[in-house]
Amino acid sequence: MFKAIMIEKDETGYRANLKEVDESQLPAGDVTVRVSHSTLNYKDGLAITGKGPVVRKFPMVPGVDLVGTVEETSHPAYSVGDAVLLNGWGVGEGHWGGLAQKARLNGEWLVPLPSQFTPQQAMAIGTAGYTAMLCVLALERHGVTPDKGEILVTGAAGGVGSVAVSILSKLGYTVVGVSGRPEENAYIKRLGASEVLERSAFSSAGKPLARERWAGAVDVVGSHTLANVCAATQYRGVVTACGLAGGMDFPATVAPFILRGVTLVGIDSVMCPRAERLIAWQRLGTDLDIAKLNLITNEIGLAEAIPMATKLLDGQVRGRVVVDVN
Ligand code: NDP
């Protein structure tokens, strides 16, 4: 038996509870992992609370991230005792995930735990941090160098935002954060932002084009915020869009794209090819300051993940949440 958060949906409703689960119930897979830590991402919050259509099968163990050691394997790349990491691939959505003491997975989804990180640190990064790195890689790929100007990061006190601010500042970019929580401004500046702007300046309908300010951007909010960020992006600047914390819509015009040559880059971490994941994790090993990672992280137990999910969706959580599942 092992402990897991289990999401069920039936005629009595949608619910998440901590349960004892028999190992024989684990899904099919060629690697069984003894999980040490998982995390809470925005998507896990949606899954646990049922506020978004994340879970595709019931019952479901949530948790899009996990780290642990291989307990059983028939996959040639892994041996018993290997430390492994998983982000995405639909785990915690359509296949039982990381908010449990055990997981059985497809070995192709796993990556070796990078030697620079402890299991806790890997989960402090988690999908949110690895997505932040994918955004930075996209800015670089499209030629945004530190000399081009300021980089805007929205949702800066959240998981993706905190890691993005930290990485970009370490790489020498001038970073401006956007946050709806003035009490977190000092925190965002400690992570490396030179300035923090108020969320409300971005969250309602703006002009198709505004003063050109941003050389690049990492947007986790979507909706009017993303439209306003594009409208104020410099000629040939680059906006990476990875989130929908403010809404799934995109009420924009084509003006920034056709008049200023702005590039909008979509970022998906879930199905991102393995080769790019390995690059992202390797770059996290060199470009993320571990001292800042400690500043970003809170640790909780498995049972606490359920109430924390509601807080996360309410925008009350700073940085990243690591879940010690044991
Ligand atoms: P968090 O909840 O940790 O951070 C989101 C932040 O966005 C909040 O902390 C808050 O920052 C801000 N925010 C929240 N609500 C609103 C709102 N209504 N309007 C404007 N800003 C808001 O989530 P994560 O960092 O884990 O994820 C951020 C987004 O990125 C989510 O939408 C998530 O689904 C998406 N995501 C996408 C991935 C992909 O593969 N494309 C992978 C990972 C995440 P503040 O208080 O500073 O304003």
- The boundaries of the domain holding residue 207 are 128-266
135 and 88 share a domain? no
What's the CATH number where 194 sits? 3.40.50.720
Residues with CB under 6 A from ligand 1: 41-43, 127-128, 131, 155-161, 179-181, 184, 199, 203, 220-221, 225, 242-246, 267-270, 312, 315, 317
pLDDT of residue 177: 98
Q: Is the CA virtual torsion 131, 137, 140, 146 positive or negative? A: positive
Q: Which of 39, 40, 91, 160 to mutate to test the pocket of ligand 1 (most atoms within 8 A of CB)?
A: 160
The Å distance, Cα 108 to ligand 1 centre, comes to: 28
Residues forming beta bridges with residue 196, ordered by sequence position: 177
Max CA separation in the chain (angstroms): 61
Percent of the chain residues past pLDDT 70, beyond the cut: 100
Residues 157, 41 within the same domain: no
- 163 and 219 belong to one structural domain: yes
Q: How far is the CA of 239 from the centre of ligand 1 (A)?
A: 16
The number of folded domains in the chain is 2
CA distances, 267 to each of 13, 137, 162, 264 (Å)? 33, 10, 17, 10
273 CA to centre of ligand 1 in angstroms: 23
Q: Do residues 147 and 242 share a domain?
A: yes
- Summarised one tens digit per residue, pLDDT across range 203-248 is 999 999 999 999 999 999 999 999 999 999 999 999 999 999 999 9
137 and 109 in a single domain? The answer is: no
Residue 247 pLDDT? 95
- Say if residue 262 is in the same domain as residue 163: yes
Confidence (pLDDT) at 290: 92
Can you give the pLDDT at residue 5?
98
**CA nearest ligand 1 atom 17, residue:** 246
Whether residues 70 and 149 fall in one domain: no
Residue 50 has a pLDDT of: 96
Specify which residues 14 forms β-bridges with: 9
The CA distance from 129 to 268, in Å, is: 13
- Asked, for residue 118, whether it belongs to a domain, the answer is no
Question: pLDDT value at position 156?
Answer: 98
Q: What is the pLDDT of residue 312?
A: 94
Residue range 266-318, pLDDT digits in tens = 999 999 999 999 999 999 999 999 999 999 999 999 999 999 999 999 989 99
Evaluate whether 321 touches 300 at the Cβ level (below 8 Å).
Answer: yes
**pLDDT value of residue 74:** 97
Closest ligand 1 atom, residue 46 Cα: 34
| Token pair for 274 | 């393995």
Q: What is the pLDDT of residue 275?
A: 95
Per-residue confidence (pLDDT) for residue 308, from 0 to 100 = 97
Q: Are residues 237 and 142 in the same domain?
A: yes
Q: Are residues 92 and 141 in the same domain?
A: no
Query: Ligand 1 centre and the CA of 42: distance in Å?
Result: 6
Q: How far is residue 132 from each of residues 47, 117, 155, measured CA to CA in Å?
A: 21, 17, 12
Give per-residue pLDDT as tens, 82-139.
Answer: 999 999 999 999 999 999 999 999 999 999 999 999 999 999 999 999 999 999 999 9
Mode of pairing for the β-strands spanning 31-40 and 320-324: antiparallel
pLDDT value of residue 158: 95
> What is the rounded radius of gyration, in angstroms, for the C-alpha atoms of the chain?
20
Q: Where are the alpha helices (DSSP H) in the chain?
A: 42-49, 119-141, 159-170, 185-190, 223-231, 255-259, 274-287, 290-296, 305-313
pLDDT at 204: 97
Mean pLDDT of the chain: 97
What's the ipTM?
0.99
Mean pLDDT of 32-55: 96
Q: Tell me what pLDDT residue 195 has.
A: 98
The answer to whether 35 and 67 have CB atoms below 8 angstroms apart is yes
So what's the pLDDT on residue 60? 98
pLDDT at 31: 98
The angle, 0 to 180 degrees and rounded to 10, between the axes of the packed helices 159-170 and 119-141 is 70
3-state SS of 84-136 is EEEECCCECCCECCCCECEEEECHHHCEECCCCCCHHHHHHHHHHHHHHHHHH
User: Do 209 and 235 sit in the same domain of this protein?
Assistant: yes
Tell me what pLDDT residue 277 has.
95
**What number is the average pLDDT over the span 170-194?**
98
What pLDDT is stored for residue 165 in this prediction?
98
The answer for residues whose C-beta is within 8 angstroms of residue 118's C-beta and 6 or more apart is none
Same structural domain for residues 104 and 36?
yes
pLDDT on residue 127: 96
Q: For residue 150, what pLDDT is reported?
A: 98
